[in-house]
């Protein structure tokens, strides 16, 4: 018997705290993606990359909280290890404080600050929307196979979401036979790329359209995936929109991450190659699994990440 989509969506939602708990909810979303990848890393490639993307959104959301309540910058959560806290505060004072307090004059202008906060709110909505749109399908496929997705799909999800899972299913079946591992891997990778295409076109398209004109440059400079220690030695660990296209091109607006074509070009040319190298390192490089397990367990010491995020905004000074 095919379960309803409402059932699968309720299951996906049950792992998350309420929407009002912004940072905690983001961390839970990141954890769910990481857990999906750890349990099924042979087929759920999109979930693995989504964990890092959601984590990066979490940095922006924490940054927004810092802007709204400066006192929070020196708060730490009860589960932070003392050593992490000391190291984090040191890096924070050296980097984030300099970045935040020398943040552009626009951040101290109430109207401009509100514009930026509104843009970050759209990013938060986008992060939730991606989870709502795609997480249920992973859970449905895991428990009930392709039929559960086929029985619950909407018309605008057929082109990328459904076709993506069909390719993943075909690749997974081929992988079980052991007859053509290379073809199986190619099908799985292409299927996951279709899930990513669905995310970027159907889910995030409206979100980026809601970003303010002033926010286009800020969001473009803040768009990067940092895989950190998950990347094997000798491989790139970052995929940055601004680094890929050039700072002048981003500042001039000739390259804009809110533009679907520009965004997808960056993903194909920069993000996916870096991610594929990270994914290929799973099982070979201990750092990859270690980072995923940290995300899956909801661990976070965001001082260094926030410091880095704040520093990327310093170009506005």
Question: pLDDT tens, 260-284?
Answer: 999 999 999 999 999 999 999 999 9
Question: What is the predicted pLDDT for the residue at 88?
Answer: 42
Closest CA to 57 of 35, 85, 89, 29: 29
Confidence of residue 60 (pLDDT cuts 50, 70, 90): confident
Per residue in 90-137, pLDDT (tens digit) is 443 334 333 333 344 444 466 667 888 899 899 999 999 999 999 999
What whole-number distance in Å separates Cα of residue 156 and Cα of residue 132?
A: 15
- Alpha helix (H) ranges present in 69-104? 82-91, 97-101
Share of the chain above pLDDT 90, in %: 69
Rounded CA-CA distance 288/295 in Å is: 11
Q: Return the sign of the alpha-carbon dihedral for residues 191, 48, 59, 312.
A: negative
CA distance 268 to 78: 40
């Amino acid at each position: 018997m095919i379960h309803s989509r409402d059932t699968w969506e309720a299951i996906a939602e049950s792992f998350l705290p309420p929407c009002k708990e912004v940072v905690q909810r983001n961390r839970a979303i990141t954890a769910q993606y990481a857990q999906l990848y750890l349990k099924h890393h042979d087929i759920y490639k999109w979930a693995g990359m989504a964990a890092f993307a959601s984590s990066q959104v979490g940095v922006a959301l924490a940054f927004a909280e810092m802007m709204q309540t400066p006192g929070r910058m020196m708060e730490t959560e009860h589960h932070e290890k003392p050593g992490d806290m000391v190291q984090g505060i040191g890096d924070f004072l050296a980097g984030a404080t300099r970045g935040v307090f020398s943040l552009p004059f626009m951040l101290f202008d109430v109207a401009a600050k509100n514009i930026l906060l509104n843009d970050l709110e759209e990013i938060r909505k986008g992060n939730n929307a991606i989870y709502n749109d795609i997480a249920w399908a992973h859970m449905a496929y895991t428990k009930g196979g392709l039929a559960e997705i086929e029985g619950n799909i909407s018309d605008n999800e057929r082109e990328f979401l459904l076709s993506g899972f069909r390719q993943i299913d075909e690749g997974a079946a081929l992988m079980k036979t052991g007859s053509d591992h290379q073809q199986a891997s190619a099908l799985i990778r292409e299927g996951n790329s279709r899930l990513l295409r669905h995310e970027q076109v159907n889910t995030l398209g409206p979100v980026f359209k809601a970003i303010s004109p002033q926010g286009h440059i800020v969001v473009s400079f803040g768009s990067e995936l940092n895989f950190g220690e998950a990347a094997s030695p000798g491989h790139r660990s970052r995929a940055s929109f601004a680094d890929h296209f050039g700072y002048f091109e981003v500042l001039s607006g000739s390259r804009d991450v809110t533009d679907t074509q520009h965004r997808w070009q960056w993903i194909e040319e920069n993000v996916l190659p870096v991610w594929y190298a990270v994914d290929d390192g799973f099982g070979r490089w201990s750092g990859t699994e270690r980072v995923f397990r940290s995300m899956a367990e909801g661990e976070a010491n965001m001082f260094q990440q926030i410091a880095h995020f704040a520093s990327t905004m310093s170009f506005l000074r």
